[in-house]
Amino acid sequence: MSSQSARTPIADILVIDDTPENLALLSQMLTERGYKVRSVTKGSTGLRGAIAAPPNIILLDVKMPQMNGYEVCQKLKENERTRDIPVIFISALGDVLDKVKAFQVGGVDYITKPFQVEEVLARLQTHLTICKLQNQLQAQNTKLQQEMKERVAAEEKFAKAVRSCPNPIAIATLKEGRFVDTNNSFLLMSGYTQAEIIGNTIANIHLESAITTYADIVQRSQEKGFVHNQEFQFSTKYGEIKTVLLSVELIELAGTPCTLSIMNDITEHKRLENEFISLVSHELRTPMTSMMGALDLLGSGQLGTLTEQGQQVLNIGIKNTERLIRLVNDILDLERMKSGKITMQQIEYDIIKLLHHAIETMQPMAEKARVNLNLEIIDNDFVNLRIDPDRILQTLTNLLSNAIKFSEPNQTVYLRTNKQSDWLHISVEDSGRGIPSNKLQTIFDRFQQVDASDSRQKGGTGLGLAICRHIIEQHDGKIWVESILGQGSTFHINLPLQSVNRDRL
Ligand code: ADP
């Protein structure tokens, strides 16, 4: 066995020719070039052989007794197993080859005897390559069709999931925030019909209050690829304020980048929670006030002198009762502010006087903690702002109290103010332990602390910053914090200057 025939054959070729010399010649020529050759002398035998084991290509003599080449080719093309095998006709020089008929019955080419080796090989090679490319194309086509089928099925599944999901879902274009699709739950919650929503943007379906927060959420989802369970408020068609936990994922719909917003309506949950907190707080306030009275009476000595140990126990009782009263008062304060039961009593007030007042109020606490308090008025230009002085003082003392609480002895807390175009900017800076970046937003929410033990150890309630934020927002201002862990924090407040009377006092 030659080394060539031991290799995997280039292709399997069936030669059908009634002239044995031709068969021998072709067979030898092709075998030497690495092809596997099967040769038969009768058309019917060739047909059976091709059906039983389809070759890669068939060389078919035109002129044969019983069944001629055209007939064989026709039969090959009728059979599913042999239909796609390329057929090259062989004709002798003296024979009349009906080329049109040869192509009509499905032949791809013809060669004439006597054979020129290079020509036969070149033609074979060409048709094998075409055949191979056709097969590849076919495979790719099938794969593509399969992928398209899978894609359509996935899209249908996605659409079904969106439609039947009990959570409100909306899909909007990323660029303009234009609604592309919503589900029924979203329509029910928002009060709008599909026709009113689709094609409109958040801005023009009157969800103005939501635009800034939504833009912020979209920006964050662009940075991270998603945003999960972000509290978000918007007004329905009928003006009802809904609170939802919003999760935003970025998706592509028909080549357009979109946001997929999945909501969890927690309006009722929030209302019940607020109602519960306020109810409990109201119920706690009266007994706690009388407890405090009783402890004060004990401490006054009117009921007899306490031993030193008794006094110590009494002090613990007083300290914790005071903390509970502070907590209940803060809860009620926040709840009343949120429900609009407390409005800001805004008057023209000298902000510099207020800053001095804040420092004086906090001085005893700072001294006790051995922390320095420093007031820096960068623009020495006294301004009157339209504010509720008591509430702004409450905000400043709260920030100063936190700054002192989280500072080490001998560190300095700075209260600064300066004017920045449309804003009066106030900052409270400390060099304490700092706040981790993932808490910079959440600490302004109710009962959110960096460390669960903060309120216990530092005597806070976890409500101070939530109250501050509410007060500042009621003044159309902004409050935020910047911090480097281990190096300190700076709380910033911007109050609008528009309504400011710039007269000097
Ligand atoms: P609290 O009454 O517990 O101080 P706040 O709402 O005022 O409640 O503050 C919430 C939490 O934010 C605090 O418990 C603390 O974890 C963190 N925090 C506030 N101010 C500072 C600060 N200046 N430095 C470090 N952490 C702070």
- Strand 169-173's sheet: what is its strand order? 179-182, 169-173, 256-265, 241-253, 226-235
**Spatial separation of the C-alpha atoms in residues 162 and 194, rounded to whole Å:** 14
* Beta carbons of 210 and 235 less than 8 angstroms apart: yes
The strand pair at 57-61 and 109-113 is best described as unpaired
Q: What is the pLDDT of residue 466?
A: 92
pTM of the model: 0.54
Measuring from atom 26 of ligand 1, which residue has the nearest CA? 435
Could you tell which of 371, 438, 454, 457 is best to mutate to test the pocket of ligand 1, judged by most ligand atoms within 8 Å of the CB?
A: 454
Measuring from atom 20 of ligand 1, which residue has the nearest CA? 402
Extract the tokens encoding 4.
């060539």
Q: What is the pLDDT of residue 83?
A: 94
Does the beta carbon of 281 sit less than 6 angstroms from any atom of ligand 1? no
CA 420 to chain centre: 35
Question: Distance, CA 252 to ligand 1 centroid (Å)?
Answer: 41
Question: Distance, CA 276 to ligand 1 centroid (Å)?
Answer: 25
Does the beta carbon of 107 sit less than 6 angstroms from any atom of ligand 1? no
Give the number of the atom of ligand 1 that is nearest the alpha carbon of residue 491. 23
Does the beta carbon of 489 sit less than 6 angstroms from any atom of ligand 1? yes
Extract the tokens encoding 207.
């969800």
* Beta carbons of 263 and 168 less than 8 angstroms apart: yes
**Digitized pLDDT (tens) for each residue of the chain, 505 residues in all:** 444 445 688 899 999 999 888 889 889 989 999 999 999 999 999 999 999 999 999 999 998 988 999 999 999 999 999 999 999 999 876 666 678 888 999 999 998 888 888 888 999 999 999 989 988 999 999 999 999 999 899 889 988 999 999 999 999 998 888 999 999 999 999 999 999 999 988 777 755 556 777 777 788 878 877 788 888 888 888 888 888 998 998 888 888 999 999 999 999 988 887 788 778 777 888 888 889 999 999 988 888 888 999 999 999 999 889 888 888 888 888 877 877 777 788 888 989 999 999 999 999 999 999 999 999 988 766 578 889 999 999 999 999 999 999 999 999 999 999 888 888 999 999 999 999 988 898 899 888 778 777 666 666 778 899 999 999 998 989 999 999 999 999 999 999 986 443 333 2
Does the beta carbon of 433 sit less than 6 angstroms from any atom of ligand 1? yes
Burial of 254 (0-12, 13-18, 19+ CB in 10 A): exposed
* Beta carbons of 104 and 69 less than 8 angstroms apart: no
Does the beta carbon of 386 sit less than 6 angstroms from any atom of ligand 1? no
Beta bridge partners of 109: 88
Does the beta carbon of 432 sit less than 6 angstroms from any atom of ligand 1? yes
Residues whose CB is less than 8 angstroms from the CB of residue 501 and which lie 6 or more positions away in sequence, other chains included: 348, 383, 384, 386
Give the number of the atom of ligand 1 that is nearest the alpha carbon of residue 432. 24
Measuring from atom 3 of ligand 1, which residue has the nearest CA? 462
Give the number of the atom of ligand 1 that is nearest the alpha carbon of residue 330. 2
* Beta carbons of 107 and 73 less than 8 angstroms apart: yes
Does the beta carbon of 460 sit less than 6 angstroms from any atom of ligand 1? yes
**Spatial separation of the C-alpha atoms in residues 31 and 4, rounded to whole Å:** 9
CA nearest neighbour of 243 among 213, 208, 268, 212: 268
Q: What is the pLDDT of residue 419?
A: 86
Question: Distance, CA 494 to ligand 1 centroid (Å)?
Answer: 19
Could you tell which of 329, 394, 402, 490 is best to mutate to test the pocket of ligand 1, judged by most ligand atoms within 8 Å of the CB?
A: 402
Does the beta carbon of 430 sit less than 6 angstroms from any atom of ligand 1? yes
**Distance from the first to the final alpha carbon of the chain:** 115
Specify the residue for token string 């800034």: 212
Does the beta carbon of 406 sit less than 6 angstroms from any atom of ligand 1? yes
Measuring from atom 13 of ligand 1, which residue has the nearest CA? 449
